[in-house]
Structure formats: structure tokens, C-alpha cells
Amino acid sequence: MKKRFLLGGLSFLFLAGTAFIVLTKNESKKKPGTKSYGLLPRPTALNHTQEWQIVNAKVTTLTKKTEINSNDIKSMLAIAGIYMQEARVTGNYAYYNEAAMQQISSVLEKDPENFEALSFKTTILLSMHKFEEALVIAEQLKQKFPYNAYVYGMLIDANVELGKYEAAVEAADKMISIRPDIRSYSRIAYLREIHGDMPGAIEAMKLAVTAGAPGDENTEWCRIQTGKLYEQWSKMKEAEMQYAIALNNRENYPYALAGLARIATTKKDYTKALSLFQQADSIIPDHTFKEGIAEIYKLTGEKEKASALASEILTHMKKLSKTGNEDHEMAHAYVGVKDYDKALEYALKEYNRRPANIEANGTVAKVYVEMQDYKNALPFIERALSTNNKNPELLSLAALIKERVRK
């Protein structure tokens, strides 16, 4: 499905612990009708680490501070930051985005110009795929804080998603000149990938990994991206090594399990691939894991199971679409159940929101190919490749479209 680039939030370095819910507001002090949020128990595979103990302890301490002092902005922002990182770790963006936004809104009620609160709000808007709104706030912050690297990171993310690649490159140059770190290197890597520089992308992502702390979620996420770049370059041994290291550094890391599953698939070891995808899927709710499982079922001739999973993915995406813009993902989900008319409807909705984005164009082209409408697919695939992107799936799709149009 689609690859969203979003490091999201500041890099909080945690250790771990026991699973229990901590409410962020005392029931007697919250406004009538206001929902109480807290840390949700992590899946069993993730709740035994020292990191989880530290997360719980931090939230407990910070919550007590806000209960004692309802104007403790610093603690509210710290809680919001933890929720944003917890969304990354658990994949529960819908819940934790709302939880973080509640804290952020409380801060902005007291201090409408608070830089950190506005930065967090922008990051959450990006996570919800509200790119135009995020870009507006990021541009405003740039005017007030022209030498803040985090601001340029948000500008990169928003501009990339809107297909404003020149502006994204300009922001990336500024960001890395201010602060060369894991966040700036990883964004440089993605921009190089978009423009077809695979060796340069891998080099930059390796720098991102080196700049991070081994075992930290942000670091291992970058290591997974390095593996994916190697996969695109058909360097499967190198990719497998990255996934194995990530899994060793961060136990039960679902994206490492999924990476190893993809490698097993290329080796036609479908039993191993299915097991690894299922392990990843049991840990966090990422639809790409279910897509991996469905693909294995197709490869092994279990069409009924693949069809059932496709329907499950669609149901999941419909639920997610209530909390953010998920038209792109909905289009892919409808392709999965072979409802191409609905897929095209959602693909065009996404395209109309950001017509210059190469992924949005690629998705429209893919749907038209499924409908065997190669003539209409052609202009979209051409725009999808306009940045010299070397994505093998897009290149293969382009070759098919051009061949059929010539006939």
C-alpha cells in the first residue's frame, strides 16, 4: 500500500515496564463531558520491557503534577509527547492522537503562541494526513523561528505529501545545516529516494541510524527504512541483515518481523513468511501486515482466506477514515476486494487533494490498470515517475501501461 514518511514527534528515549492505565486528568477536575485519556496496556509482546516501565512512571509523575497545578504547561506537553511516541510504538494512532491533542489544546487555551504545542499539533495533523493545515502552521512557525530544525522537518513532511518537492528539498537543506541528526538525515534519505538516488538514500539513512541510540524506536525505524531501500535495490542479503539487527536491538519489533517476512517471501519460504507476518500483526494494528498475510495466502492458493482478509482490511480502513484523511488507503483497500469503481472514487479524491504527489498519481494509475483502462492510466503514471523515482513497482506498472497503450 502506501508509504507515508513521517518520523513524527520529538524523539523520546524511554526504557519500560508493567501495563496499567494511568488517567491524565483527575475525574473530579476534568471538564464535564471531557473524555479521560491515559496509557493503554501495550500488547503482551511489548509490555515486558524496561522501556514500558519508564513510560508508565513518567506519565504517573507528570499526571500528578498536572492534578496539583492545572497550569503546568511543561508537564502537559511532556504527556502529549509521550502519547505521540506511544502511537508510534503501538500503532494506535487514532487513540493517542486524540489523547495528545487534548493536552495540546489545554496548553493552547492558556498560551496560544506556545511553540512546542503548535509543533506537536502540526505533527499530529500530518499523522492524520491533514497536510494543508499542517503546512499553514509550519509556515507560520518558520516566520517566528527561522533557525529551528524541527520546524523545517515539519515543512519537509508537509511539502513532500503535497508534492511540493522543490520546497521540501529547500527545507531539508536548511534543516541539516542547522542540526544534522537522525531526523534530518532520514528526511534527506527519503528525498533522495524520491529523486531516484538509491545509493545516496541508503548513505543518508545509515547516517540517521548512526546518529540514533541503538534500540530506540526511532533508530530502529530508520534501520527498517534502510532495509526497505536495499529491498528496492534488490540487495536482499543486506536488507535481511538490517531487519535482523533491528529485531535484535528491539525485541518483537513488528516492522523488523515484517521485513524478515518479506525476505522469506522472496525465498519462497511461505510458511516462515506467514508466521512472521502473523507475529507482527498480533503486536500492532498495521494494515500492511494483513496485506502481507493476504499475499502469502494468494501465493499458496488459499484464495478464500485472502479474500476474507481483504474484507477485514477494508473494515479496518473504514474505521480509521473516521479520524483522518484515509482516501489513499481506502482506494487500496477497495482494490483488495476488487471493487474498482469505489477504488477509483477514493483514488481520485486523494489525487484532487494533492495532485502533484507522486504516490497519489501512482495509485490512480494502479486502479486504472486494474480496470484495464491503460489510456487513462498513462498520464498518472508519467506524473508518478516525474521525479525520476526508481521504485520497482512503479517502473513495472509504467512498462505494462506503455506496452498496452501501444497495442
Residue by residue, what is the 3-state secondary structure of the chain? CCCCCCCCCCCCCCEECCCCCCECCCCCCCCCCCCCCECCCCCHHHCCCHHHHHHHHHHHHHHHHHHHCCCCHHHHHHHHHHHHHHHHHHCCHHHHHHHHHHHHHHHHHHCCCCHHHHHHHHHHHHHCCCHHHHHHHHHHHHHHCCCCHHHHHHHHHHHHHCCCHHHHHHHHHHHHHHCCCHHHHHHHHHHHHHCCCHHHHHHHHHHHHHHCCCCCHHHHHHHHHHHHHHHHCCCHHHHHHHHHHHHHHCCCCHHHHHHHHHHHHHCCCHHHHHHHHHHHHHHCCCHHHHHHHHHHHHHCCCHHHHHHHHHHHHHHHHHHCCCCCCHHHHHHHHHHCCCHHHHHHHHHHHHHHCCCCHHHHHHHHHHHHHCCCHHHHHHHHHHHCCCCCCCHHHHHHHHHHHHHHHC
Confidence label for 33 from pLDDT (cuts 50, 70 and 90): low
Domains and CATH numbers, the chain: 1-129 (no CATH), 253-323 (1.25.40.10), 326-407 (1.25.40.10)
pLDDT at residue 360 above 80?
A: yes
Sign for the pseudo-dihedral over CA of 140, 83, 281, 264: positive
For range 27-43, the mean pLDDT: 72
C-alpha–C-alpha distance, residues 167 and 200, integer Å: 19
Q: What is the mean pLDDT of the chain?
A: 91
> 230 pLDDT band (50/70/90 cuts)?
very high
Is residue 219 over pLDDT 50? yes
CB 18 within 8 A of CB 47: yes
Residue 11 confidence class, pLDDT cut points 50, 70, 90: very low
The pLDDT of residue 44 is 85
Read off the pLDDT of each residue in 277-284 and give the average, rounded to a whole number. 96
| pLDDT score of 202 more than 60 | yes
Which pLDDT does position 23 carry in this prediction?
34
Cα distances from 121 to residues 233, 329, 355, in angstroms, run: 36, 23, 25
Q: Across the chain, which distance is largest between two alpha carbons, in Å?
A: 74
CA pair distance 141, 134, nearest whole angstrom: 11
Lowest mean pLDDT among 39-48, 75-84, 254-263, 307-316: 39-48
Identify the band that residue 29 occupies on the pLDDT scale cut at 50, 70 and 90: very low
Confidence of residue 323 (pLDDT cuts 50, 70, 90): confident
* pLDDT at site 174: 98
Cell, residue 151: 520546524
pTM, to two decimals: 0.89
CA separation for the pair 184, 31 (Å, rounded): 40
pLDDT for the residue numbered 30: 52
CB atoms under 10 Å from CB of 403, counted, come to: 10
Using a pLDDT cut of 90, give the percent of the chain over it: 86
Taking only the tens place, the pLDDT of each residue in 63-111 is: 999 999 999 999 999 999 999 999 999 999 999 999 999 999 999 999 9
- Cβ atoms 314, 294 nearer than 8 A: no
Which range is least confidently modeled, 19-33, 297-311, 330-344?
Answer: 19-33
pLDDT at residue 321, rounded to an integer? 85
Assess whether pLDDT exceeds 60 at residue 19. Answer: no
What pLDDT score does 40 carry? 94
Question: Taking residues 346-374, what's their average pLDDT?
Answer: 98
Model pLDDT, residue 7: 37
pLDDT at 9 over 50: no
**Per-residue pLDDT reduced to its tens digit, 253-271:** 999 999 999 999 999 999 9
Kindly state the average pLDDT of the residues 300-314. 97
- Predicted confidence band of residue 119 (pLDDT cuts 50, 70, 90): very high
Contacting residues for 255 by C-beta, under 8 A, at least 6 apart: 220, 221, 224, 246, 280
pLDDT of residue 18: 28
**Which of the residue ranges 16-25, 159-168, 385-394 would you say has the lowest mean pLDDT?**
16-25
What per-residue confidence (pLDDT) applies to 31?
57
Residue 34 has pLDDT above 90, yes or no: no
Question: Which pLDDT band, with edges at 50, 70 and 90, does 49 fall under?
Answer: confident
Q: What is the pLDDT of residue 51?
A: 86
Identify the pLDDT of residue 21: 30
Is the pLDDT score of 20 beyond 60? no
